[in-house]
Structure 1
């Protein structure tokens, strides 16, 4: 299933709805109260009653999650990205947070603050947790995965790399475009072997495969759950492959009017435009 959060474009109140994408052009609303996080906690999501159907062009897609308890991001998790970043291969996962203020959706505009002069892109496969996970054994870790989405870990390098911690350069408003939907885990045979890529104004900048992850999804779920209780709707963003703007020669920084498309095989393409504050 492809699950979305949306509102009808004609709805002046912009009431949030949760729906299922059918085919390429239709969204069918689910008759549920609440947000996607509430739907994820439903015992049998396929039993939910369906409501009105809309054409995709009649709705505005939001981030498929707008209220997760946690967004845990993994840094330096592709070997070649570690090299281009001039850093050491980590012995344990490198963690940093993003927050709900960062989440925006398909075709939303990413505003680059006036303070930021080195804005960068990072396509990532994001994992959505489906049930409470605490001290999960490695062999059972995938049982706790609800689905997958695409996340662009937008980064202000001039802030991130010039302060003791990364948070202020990573958790800027709108710096976690996510979507366009969540694909449920049963639709992805092997999340450890998916093509992952990103284009900037139509030019390919990143092109890799999730099999290059240093720490794979089962390891991350188990590792994190040892000390952090994961809740339904939590997001784990698994890191970015090589090709970020910081690693280019000459370096490439996002600017007003740039269009970024982040793609993960089997999930879809997340598209956003960047604008100067």
Structure 2
């Protein structure tokens, strides 16, 4: 199943089920279903029969006619793994890490799959990072691999947008990774039962139609289940937490000359069996805090 959030022109959000180009408003048909995706995720298994029955009904909307918001408006946590593709490690001239190297992106970085991404007022060193992301669906601590598999609600496409000068102001990457709008993801959550093996997915990034990254999740150093095992040793993972799994070779900062993003650029990230996101880079102009 593909679980999404449909956004009305007034900004209101509605959990939706996507099947091809057909869109079903979940709570319009299932009034007992939670209206918030974070609350819906732990109940997907219990609601599976009801959700599958929706697919036999007339669609409420057509996909080209709606706007999609981020599948989760404000994840409780956004955790991201660095140096997790062998080809990216090689292009950076670094040694493969012996332990997982994590940083956080603040939840205010969350952004929709087709929404604009800010070019910051304070930097022109804006870079792309195509990533497979997954969403936690159940409260999890000290997981083994089987429990880790069960904890994953589903998978998304993500772009770990990075402000490189701010990223390297210190050894802690949080600020450079957490600018507002700098974590677009979606376009939906593909439930885990539809992804037979998350370590066999092609992943690509294009800027203005030019291919910049082309790899496969088979190139990860640490697989997605190992990530859940590791993180859950330290923290409770909760429904709606978003986990970014690293980027492959081809980022702008390691190219010669460096290729940073500019206003007007369009960045498309696509992953086999999931879909794509596409975001235009725009100058940061909004003076008011985001809602």
TM-score interval (norm. to shorter): over 0.9
Unpaired runs of at least 5, structure 2 = 28-32, 285-291
The residue number in structure 1 matching 2:46 is 44
Q: Deviations over 1:125-145 (max 9, x none)?
A: 001111111111124321111
- Aligned twin of 1:253: 260
Residue 65 (str. 1) matches residue 72 (str. 2)? yes
SS of equivalent residue, structure 2 residue 148: helix
* Structure 2: distance between partners of 1:30 and 1:231: 22
For the 8 Å contact 2:4–2:17, the answer to whether it is kept is yes
Whether the aligned pair in 2 keeps the contact of 1:37 and 1:67 (CA below 8 Å) is: no
Q: Aligned partners of 2:181, 2:196: CA distance in 1, in Å?
A: 31
Q: State the partner residue of 2:62.
A: 55
Given the alignment of the two structures, is residue 150 of structure 1 paired with residue 157 of structure 2, yes or no?
A: yes
Residue 23 of structure 2 is aligned to residue 27 of structure 1: yes
Alpha-carbon distance between aligned partners in 2 of 1:258 and 1:115, rounded to the nearest angstrom: 18
> Of the candidates 255, 258, 270, which is equivalent to residue 277 of structure 2?
270
- In structure 2, distance between residues paired with 1:181 and 1:72: 18
Q: Secondary structure at the match of 1:128?
A: strand
Asked if the contact 2:205–2:267 (Cα under 8 Å) also holds between the matched residues in 1, the reply is yes
> Match for 1:16 among 13, 29, 45?
13
Partner of 2:6: 6
| CA deviation after TM superposition for structure 1 residue 112, in Å | 1.1
- Separation (CA, whole Å) in 1 of partners of 2:86 and 2:249: 8
The one-character-per-residue Cα deviations of 1:82-125 (angstroms, maximum 9, x if unpaired) are 22223332111111111221111122000111111210000100
3-state SS of 1:117 partner:
coil
CA deviation profile, 1:129-164 (whole Å, cap 9, x unmatched): 111111111243211111000110000011101223
Segments of structure 1 that go 5 or more residues without pairing to the other structure are none
Shift of 1:48: 4.3
CA distance in 1, matches of 2:18, 2:175: 35
1:154-169 map, 5 Å = 154-169=161-176
Q: Give SS of 1:134's match.
A: coil
Distance 1:228 1:146 in 2: 18
TM-score by length of 1: 0.94
Find the aligned partners of 1:146 and 1:187 in 2 and give their Cα distance.
Answer: 11
Structure 1 contact 39–45 (Cα < 8 Å) conserved: no
2:109 to 91, 94, 102: 102
In structure 1, C-alpha distance between the alignment counterparts of 2:219 and 2:153, rounded to whole Å: 22
Alignment length (residue pairs): 273
Residue aligning to 2:207: 200
Aligned counterparts of 1:93 and 1:114: Cα–Cα separation in 2: 32
1:115 aligned counterpart, secondary structure: coil
Q: Distance in 2 between matches of 1:235 and 1:182?
A: 11
Matched residue SS, 1:190: coil
* SS at 1:44 equivalent: helix
